[in-house]
Amino acid sequence: MAHVNVMLKWRLDLVNVGTRVLPKAVADRLPNPPGYNLNANIQMISGAGHHEHQHKHLLTKRAWDVALQPAKTFPMNLFMLYMAGNAISIFPIMMVAMMMWRPIKALMSVKNTFKPLEEEHIGPLVLHKLVFILGNLAGVALALYKCHGMGLLPNTPSDWLDFLPVPQRMQYSLYSETFA
């Protein structure tokens, strides 16, 4: 029988959990739990300015991450184009075309790329957009340079011979064996 009383002593009452409220006089006499600081609420209210400054810092950092994204992919694109070689075949041509199309597509959607950042950020992101555009233009220039190296760009006079007019004869020459 004594054994049953010990078990009842350590039994948890999950039905009435949280329903008991201490009287105010008893609650005021209890010490605060370890780590509790009564002035913490006051510090949190005064730290709101710090939180706003930190939020601005994070937004600026995110805007710079988006702006520098094309510049970060430049070394990888350079290595991939090096590995493609200068041979004219379908795979290097497709790689160059994709390396040129992606920055062009990004240049066409600059406004949509920065739209979510401008809604949260205070002020325009002109410098960020300029860096983003310059990074994408560098990607297009890299792809054009590769096209030049592969001989895909018509940049020599011999590439335009079809468009030159046929020269008119200035004189005629006849050769006959009777005069020889």
DSSP 56-110: HHHHHHHHHHHHHHHHHHHHHHHHHHHHH-S--SHHHHHHHHHHHHHHHHHHHTH
Question: Which position has the higher pLDDT, 5 or 97?
Answer: 97
- Looking at the domain assignment, is residue 119 inside a domain? yes
- Looking at the domain assignment, is residue 20 inside a domain? no
124 confidence band (pLDDT: 50, 70, 90): confident
Domains: count for the chain: 1
Q: What is the pLDDT of residues 22-80, one digit of tens each?
A: 667 766 777 777 877 767 665 555 555 667 778 888 888 888 999 999 999 999 999 99
The pLDDT of residue 119 is above 70: yes
Q: Which domain holds residue 146?
A: 90-153
Return the pLDDT at 105.
Answer: 95
Task: Give CA–CA dist 70/93, Å, rounded.
Answer: 21
**Mean pLDDT rounded to a whole number for the chain:** 80
Question: What is the DSSP code (8-state) at residue 122?
Answer: S
Rounded mean pLDDT of 85-111? 90
Q: What is the pLDDT of residues 4-21, one digit of tens each?
A: 555 555 666 666 666 666
Report yes or no on whether pTM surpasses 0.75. Answer: no
- Looking at the domain assignment, is residue 115 inside a domain? yes
CA distances from 179 to 121, 125, 175, 176 (A): 93, 85, 8, 6
Least confident of 36-45, 92-101, 133-142, 168-177: 36-45
Return the pLDDT at 7.
Answer: 55
Rounded mean pLDDT of 88-103? 90
- Looking at the domain assignment, is residue 166 inside a domain? no
Return the pLDDT at 150.
Answer: 87
- Looking at the domain assignment, is residue 42 inside a domain? no
